[in-house]
Amino acid sequence: MNQQQPNSTNPTQPKAHAVALFSGGLDSALAILLLLRQNIEVTALTFMTHFGCDLQDRSSCGSNPYPTAEKYGFRVKLMHLGEKFVDIVKNPKYGRGKHMNVCTDCRILMLSEAREFMEMINADFVVTGEVIGQRPMSQVKDKLNLTEKEAGLRGRLLRPLSAKLLKPTEPELAGLVDREQLESISGRSRKRQLELAEQFGLEDFPSPASGCLLTDEGYSNRLRDLLAHTESVSFNDLNLLRVGRHFRLNPSAKVVIGRNEQDNNLIDAYREPHHHRLEALDIGSPVGLLIGSANKDTLSKAAMVLARYTSAKHQPTVRVTVFEPNSDKQHDIEAPPARDEDLQHVIIK
């Protein structure tokens, strides 16, 4: 079949300028290509957060946007949502999904940022790759209408893959976009999307995935514990949630234990000056961080947890070295390895 290339090289003046939300996934890529085919200029925004949406993630939540952009000739701007996104995770206006995911508030935030960018560069409208019914909780008509309204984009948000199933938008009514060249896709089947991908010659795209880390049960449990016990959450605190095993020793202290060398390196990278670092030197040992209150009893418990995961876990005691925060001082603790049955009461699963 001949590839149906978008008309991105048309020498005539573009009919309009759109700002697109672009995850790097198939749907958002196709939404852009449908517009490029109509000689519409596109500037894509790829959003990143501290919860798994980054360029190394091949999920639908985020993957490298540049190969597709370079192939088809549109611009990509990276935007990190930073503290704004952390704030809505703490206090979502529209509630959570099954775990800690705040899909509705997340969508509104991204669309709001896209609207502000659209206004800043004097673009005409915003585009997404949303498909009606693809996600039963967030991509139904009432939620689509809600996010559009809350983001201040009523009439200026075009969803090319499902456009013919929705009311015409302002750019369609104004003749900037030919509605007949848009799609009427609905539901979870990707048959039509794959047909379009073949027509456009789009080959490298990630498979559908569950989304960001906020949809993961284990990560959500660790995040929920962090927010419940920490008044001021740092980005290092959030990054550590992706690493190792976490144990809540008491309301004011927890210990993080590495699972492998990569975890150990990341724990060292995310260690803050007020953290105690633990390691059993001269034997096979993970790195541990004690975060929070560090009295004698808490340090002893943290050392016991770490000792359980050393190569000497079957010995009566293990010598654990504690590196004190904000100094070069260190001291040793002779700790009996914790029993598995005791750890079940403190591990954050």
Distance of alpha carbon 157 from alpha carbon 151, whole angstroms: 10
328 Cβ contact list (under 8 Å, min separation 6): none
Q: How far apart are CA 67 and CA 73, in angstroms?
A: 10
pLDDT (0 to 100) of residue 9: 47
What is the distance between the alpha carbons of residues 228 and 291, in angstroms, rounded to a whole number? 14
User: In this structure, what token pair is assigned to residue 192?
Assistant: 């039509």
Region for 122 from its dihedrals, namely left if φ exceeds 0, alpha if ψ lies in -120 to 50, beta otherwise: left
CA dist list (Å): 252 to 1, 291, 296, 305: 63, 8, 14, 17
Q: Which tokens go with 280?
A: 């059993």
Residues making up the chain, counted from first to last: 349
So what's the pLDDT on residue 82? Answer: 92
What is the topology classification, in CATH, of domain 17-200? Rossmann fold (3.40.50)
Every domain of the chain and the residues it spans: 17-200, 218-343
Question: Cα torsion at 208, 211, 213, 219 (round to 10°)?
Answer: -80
Model confidence over 186-233: pLDDT tens digits? 998 999 999 999 999 999 887 766 568 999 999 999 999 999 999 999
* Nearest alpha-carbon partner for 321 in 275, 279, 288: 279
Is-contact 322 281, C-beta < 8 A?
A: no
According to the model, what pLDDT value does residue 59 have? 47
- Given a cut of 70, the residues of the chain with pLDDT beneath it are 1-11, 53-62, 136-138, 208-211
At 141 the pLDDT is: 86
CA angle at 80 for the pair 77 and 86, rounded to the nearest 5°: 155
For the segment 4-14, what is each residue's pLDDT rounded down to a tens digit?
556 544 557 99
Provide the token pair at 326: 């904000």
